[in-house]
């Protein structure tokens, strides 16, 4: 169809750049940084081009910019890429946040080549998940994304801190966090892989557009000799999918890897973790779980909504209970991603209704919005940490006069995170609440408790850093945000405001996709 394989270019330019960077001489760090940064702009430019040439208005014919090639013939798995409004939104988020995060990493001094190469590799992994239209391919990229992040946390994570296990055994906090992240996700992947194999064997294909047609209505496994009912298999496979993605989102109670990983990761690592990696989970639910298992999802919606609300409430409480600024922001992700799950759960229960479509719009928009704001929040925490070398809120206080510009930016970003109307978070939260209201009324009411405490932890963060009497220790040490850091945060702030005032440009693409997929 297309002469130029845009999607493949978007997907593999970062990997190519990673290889080049790995081969570059490591003496000149600045060159390495700039090469990485510029390389990461290429996928962004390509994505913008695709976005502008993407006709959102054509529904029902599925995926655009499709590419298909032979890959793994023996099991009928092909290299199949394509996008619709859902994946395009996520691809845009990824290609947008990666250069921003790389620019934020210019202060990394240790082993810059490896760091940048891993970062770009990570981008390929994430993009692959969003672009794949083949289950096997999806899984391969799903796993690829893990490895660079593991090393980023383990090697470049925060130097300080220990975590006690049992019997007095202590490990380095970043080692603990990186293992926990890796193993937890792997634990989920295991079930996912088995379930994917089940589907592949039973349906005879891994091709997603075909599976969307075959799998939900499949009542008999002709290829598998089994006495177990098909519906049972499907339920098992559903839960394998759901748990794998729930760990990634993360849904309560699978969330405890997140505060550890986010807190210990380097600043840019946290930005990408919160900004994109968590969305892989939400994307998994929307791309695979709801279309492949509508019946099972419907049956399990009650469980999902309970967990979503638990994430919203306990995420907010835990965030409010933190003294570590970064951990506070980390827990805020649990709280915010809970709204994504609330939207998904509501849609699972009442798919096809007006409310469900609104809830799905809200969930996807919330993923994008949270990607922007959470990345910005982690970056701002990083800015202050690089200067003070502490994340302890009790050691800050009254910093506003020292860093007025930073202070203004922190308040702005915090308000976006809080869901202040006029900024991006509000639109998506409102849509989720509106969509979930008549489907899960009491759950929606309970979620308001979380929304209330969102305010509490955000204000706690501001009050403990900026407000109150000045902590004299930092006079002369704490410098104002610099030009590079402003270049990182400005595009994110522009998006927060733009999406708050005029979300139509993005929501139009999302809405068309949701109507086409689930309408």
Partner 1 sequence: MNPELLIWLIPLPPLLAFGVITLFTNRSNAASSWVGVGSAFISWVLGLLVFIQAIGIDHFGEHPFGSSVEWLPLGSGAFSIGVLVDPLTAVMLFFVTTTVLMIFIYSVGYHNYGQPKGDHDQKGLPPHGATVEHGDHSHTVPSVEPMYARFFAFIGLFAFGMFTLVVSDNLLTLFVGWEIMGLCSYLLIGFWYAKPSARDAAKKAFMTTRVGDVFMLLGIAYLYTETGTLNFRNILYNQEVLDTLAANPAIGGFWGLSAAGLIGLLLFIGTVGKSAQFPLHVWLPDAMEGPTPVSAMIHAATMVSAGVYMVVRMFPILALDEKTLGTMAVIGAFTALMAATIAVAQNDVKRVLAYSTISQLGFMVAALGIGAYIAAAFHLVTHAFFKALLFLGSGSVIHGMEHGVLHTGNHKVDPQDMFNMGGLRKKMPITFWTFLIGGFALSGFPLVTAGFWSKDEILADAWGHHHYVVFWVLAIAALLTAFYTGRQLMLTFGGEARTEEAKHAHESVPSMTWPLMILSFFAITAGWVGIPEKIPVIGGLLPNWFHDFVGGTLLKHPEALSSFDPIPLITSVIVALGGLSLGWLVYRNIKAGDEDPLKKPLGEIYGYIQNKWYWDEIYNGIFVHLANLLSEPFTYRFLDRTVIDGSLHWIAQRAFGLGGWFRDKIDGPIVNGFGDFVGSFTNRFGHVMRYVQTGRVQQYMIWAALVAFGGLFYFLAFVSTP
Shortest gap between Cβ of 212 and partner 1 (angstroms)? 21
Name the nearest CA neighbour of 47 among 99, 117, 104, 102. Answer: 99
Whole-number Å distance between alpha carbons of 196 and 190:
10
Smaller CB distance to partner 1: residue 39 or 195? 195
Q: How far is the CB of 514 from partner 1 (least distance, A)?
A: 8
If the CB atoms of residues 127 and 297 are measured against partner 1, the closer one turns out to be 297
- Tell me whether residue 71 or residue 306 sits nearer to partner 1 (CB atom): 306
Between the alpha carbon of residue 167 and those of residues 163, 164, 170, 201, 257, the distances in Å are 12, 8, 9, 46, 21
Instruction: Pick between residue 186 and residue 214 the one whose CB is nearest to partner 1.
Output: 186
Q: Which is nearer to partner 1, 317 or 498 (CB)?
A: 317
Pairing of strands 64-72, 77-83: antiparallel
Least spacing, CB of residue 191 vs partner 1, in Å: 5
Residues between 157 and 196 with contacts to partner 1, criterion CB under 8 A: 165-166, 169, 171, 175-176, 179-180, 182-184, 186-187, 190-191, 194
Q: Segment 448-507, which members bind partner 1 (CB under 8 A)?
A: 448, 451-453, 455-456, 459, 463, 466-470, 502-504, 507
Taking the least distance from each CB to partner 1, the nearer of 222 and 442 is: 442
Contact status, residue 261 vs residue 199, Cβ threshold 8 Å: no
CB closer to partner 1 out of 81 and 307: 307
> For residue 133, what are the CA distances in angstroms to 66, 138, 518?
9, 7, 17
Decide if residue 508 touches partner 1 (CB under 8 A). Answer: yes
The residue (of 267 and 355) whose beta carbon lies closer to partner 1 is 355
Subset of residues 293 to 332 that bind partner 1, contact rule: CB under 8 A:
314, 317-318, 320-322
Note whether 295 and 227 are within 8 A (CB). Answer: no
What residues from 16 to 75 belong to the interface with partner 1 (CB under 8 A)?
Answer: none
Stretch that binds partner 1, among 71-79, 90-98, 101-109, 511-519 (CB under 8 A): 511-519
- Does residue 434 interact with partner 1 by CB under 8 A? yes
The span of 12-20, 200-208, 264-272, 350-358 binding partner 1 (CB under 8 A) equals 350-358
d(CA 403, CA 98): 27
The answer to the question of residue 352 lying near partner 1 (CB under 8 A) is no
**Phi, psi dihedrals of residue 363, rounded to the nearest 5°:** -65, -45
Q: Among residues 147, 214, 515, 516, which is the contact residue for partner 1, using CB under 8 A? A: 515
Cα gap 452→460, rounded to integer Å: 13
The number of angstroms, rounded, from the C-alpha of 356 to the middle of its chain's C-alpha atoms is 22
Which residue from 158, 267, 444, 465 is in contact with partner 1, where contact means CB under 8 A?
444
Distance from C-alpha of 394 to C-alpha of 122, rounded to nearest angstrom: 35
- Residue with the two structure tokens 């990673």: 18
Residue partners of 290: CB distance under 8 A and separation at least 6:
297, 344, 347, 348, 351, 517, 518
Q: How far is the CB of 28 from partner 1 (least distance, A)?
A: 33
CB of 297 to partner 1, least distance (A): 16
Residue 256 found at the interface with partner 1 (CB under 8 A): yes
Size of the site for partner 1 (CB under 8 A): 83
36/493 with CB nearer partner 1: 493
Q: Phi and psi for 339 in degrees, rounded to 5?
A: -70, -35
Here the tokens at position 512 are 């068309």
Which residue's CB is nearer to partner 1, number 25 or number 469?
A: 469
336: exposed, middle or buried (C-beta count within 10 Å: 0-12, 13-18, 19+)? buried
Q: Tell me the closest approach of the beta carbon of residue 234 to partner 1, in angstroms.
A: 11
Choose among 302, 290, 284, 304: nearest CA to 351: 290
Q: Is 229 helix (H, G, I), strand (E, B) or coil?
A: coil
CB nearer partner 1, residue 27 or residue 472: 472
Give the footprint of partner 1 on residues 374-433 (CB under 8 A). Answer: 398, 400-401, 404, 408, 411, 415, 420-422, 426-427, 430-431, 433
Spatial separation of the C-alpha atoms in residues 426 and 474, rounded to whole Å: 35
Which residue bears the tokens 């990997």?
A: 15
* Longest CA–CA separation in the chain, Å: 74
CA distance 173 to 159: 8
Provide, rounded to whole angstroms, the least separation between the CB of residue 169 and partner 1: 7
Q: Are 362 and 434 in contact (CB under 8 A)?
A: yes
Binding to partner 1, residues 67-126 (CB under 8 A): none
Q: How far is CA 392 from CA 320, 381, 402, 410, 494, in A?
A: 14, 11, 18, 17, 29
The single residue among 26, 110, 162, 253 that binds partner 1, judged by CB under 8 A, is 253
CB of 327 to partner 1, least distance (A): 9
- Residue 76 or 197 with smaller CB distance to partner 1: 197
Residues 47, 355, 413, 424: which binds partner 1 (CB under 8 A)?
355
List of residues 6+ apart from 158 with CB closer than 8 A: 173, 174, 263, 264, 266
What is the nearest approach in angstroms of partner 1 to the Cβ of residue 286? 16
Which residue's CB is nearer to partner 1, number 215 or number 238? Answer: 238
Binding to partner 1 in span 210-239, by CB under 8 A: 228-229, 231-233, 235-236, 239
**DSSP, res 421:** B
């Amino acid at each position: 169809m297309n002469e130029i394989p845009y999607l493949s270019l978007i997907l593999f330019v970062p990997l190519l750049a990673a290889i080049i960077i790995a081969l570059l001489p490591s003496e000149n760090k600045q060159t390495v940084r700039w090469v990485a940064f510029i390389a990461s702009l290429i996928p962004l430019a390509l994505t913008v081009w695709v976005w502008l040439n993407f006709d959102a208005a054509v529904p029902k014919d599925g995926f655009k910019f499709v590419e298909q090639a032979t890959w793994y013939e023996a099991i009928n798995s092909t290299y199949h890429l394509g996008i619709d409004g859902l994946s395009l939104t996520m691809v845009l988020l990824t290609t947008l946040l990666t250069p921003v995060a790389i620019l934020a990493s210019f202060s990394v001094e240790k082993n810059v080549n490896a760091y940048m190469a891993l970062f770009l590799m990570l981008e390929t992994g994430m993009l692959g998940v969003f672009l794949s239209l083949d289950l096997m391919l999806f899984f391969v990229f799903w796993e690829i994304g893990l490895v660079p992040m593991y090393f980023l946390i383990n090697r470049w994570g925060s130097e300080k801190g220990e975590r006690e296990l049992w019997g007095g055994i202590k490990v380095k906090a970043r080692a603990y966090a990186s293992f926990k992240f890796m193993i937890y996700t792997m634990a989920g992947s295991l079930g996912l892989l088995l379930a994917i194999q089940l589907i592949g064997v039973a349906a005879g294909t891994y091709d997603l557009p075909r599976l969307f047609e075959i799998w939900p209505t499949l009542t008999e496994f002709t290829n598998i000799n089994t006495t177990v009912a098909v519906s049972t298999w499907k339920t098992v496979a559903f839960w394998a999918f759901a748990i794998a993605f729930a760990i990634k989102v993360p849904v309560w109670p699978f969330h405890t890897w997140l505060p550890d990983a986010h807190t210990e990761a380097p600043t840019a690592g946290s930005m990408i973790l919160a900004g994109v990696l968590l969305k892989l989970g939400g994307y998994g639910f929307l791309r695979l779980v709801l279309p492949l298992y509508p019946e099972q999802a419907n049956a399990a919606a009650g469980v999902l909504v309970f967990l979503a609300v638990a994430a919203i409430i306990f995420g907010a409480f835990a965030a409010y209970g933190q003294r570590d600024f970064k951990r506070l922001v980390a827990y805020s992700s649990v709280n915010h991603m809970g709204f994504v799950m609330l939207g998904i759960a509501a849609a699972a229960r009442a798919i096809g209704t007006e409310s469900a479509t609104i809830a799905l719009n809200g969930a996807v928009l919330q993923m994008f919005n949270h990607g922007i704001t959470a990345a910005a929040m982690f970056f701002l925490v990083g800015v202050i940490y690089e200067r003070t070398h502490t994340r302890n809120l009790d050691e800050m206080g009254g910093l506003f006069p020292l860093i007025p510009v930073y202070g203004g930016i922190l308040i702005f970003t915090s308000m976006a995170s809080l869901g202040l109307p006029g900024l991006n978070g509000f639109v998506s939260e409102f849509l989720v609440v509106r969509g979930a209201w008549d489907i899960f009324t009491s759950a929606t009411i309970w979620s308001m408790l979380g929304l209330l405490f969102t305010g509490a932890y955000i204000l706690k963060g501001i009050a403990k850093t900026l407000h109150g009497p000045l902590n004299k220790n930092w006079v002369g040490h704490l410098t104002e945000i610099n030009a590079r850091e402003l270049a990182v945060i400005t595009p994110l702030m522009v998006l927060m405001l733009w999406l708050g005032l005029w979300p139509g440009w993005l929501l139009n693409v999302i809405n068309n996709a949701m109507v086409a997929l689930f309408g």
